[in-house]
Amino acid sequence: NAGVMQNPRHLVRRRGQEARLRCSPMKGHSHVYWYRQLPEEGLKFMVYLQKENIIDESGMPKERFSAEFPKEGPSILRIQQVVRGDSAAYFCASSDGRNQPQHFGDGTRLSIL
């Protein structure tokens, strides 16, 4: 029973490039959450999706960031025109209900040169 799968584990981009982070939820889970962890800080909520719908994106920066969870395939967190401040660990979690415990992936560590 595979857990939450994120790829890549490490992603290096130059300023101005695009970053795409992928997340496959646990089997049977239709709720996906993205969090960002900056150095020395806890996880900060970004967005909550439930199959093709964005439920809550109150933690997403207004520009350059977008997320999707298509009917088929993984959830994608997309960051356009990356800047140095986007360097962080991005974690995806999934659950089988909106008030159920969330299971986390290993994260993607994004580094911006």
Partner 1 sequence: AQSVSQHNHHVILSEAASLELGCNYSYGGTVNLFWYVQYPGQHLQLLLKYFSGDPLVKGIKGFEAEFIKSKFSFNLRKPSVQWSDTAEYFCASLANAGKSTFGDGTTLTVKP
Q: Does 72 bind partner 1 (CB under 8 A)?
A: no
Give me the torsion for CA of 14, 35, 26, 20, rounded to 10°: -20
Among 7, 56, 64, 96, binds partner 1 (CB under 8 A): 56
Q: Distance between CA atoms of 79 and 66, rounded to whole angstroms?
A: 7
Site size with partner 1, rule: CB under 8 A: 27
Helix (H, G, I), strand (E, B) or coil at 65: strand
Using CB under 8 A, list all residues that contact partner 1: 3-4, 31, 33, 35, 40-45, 48, 55-56, 58-59, 91, 93, 98-99, 101-107
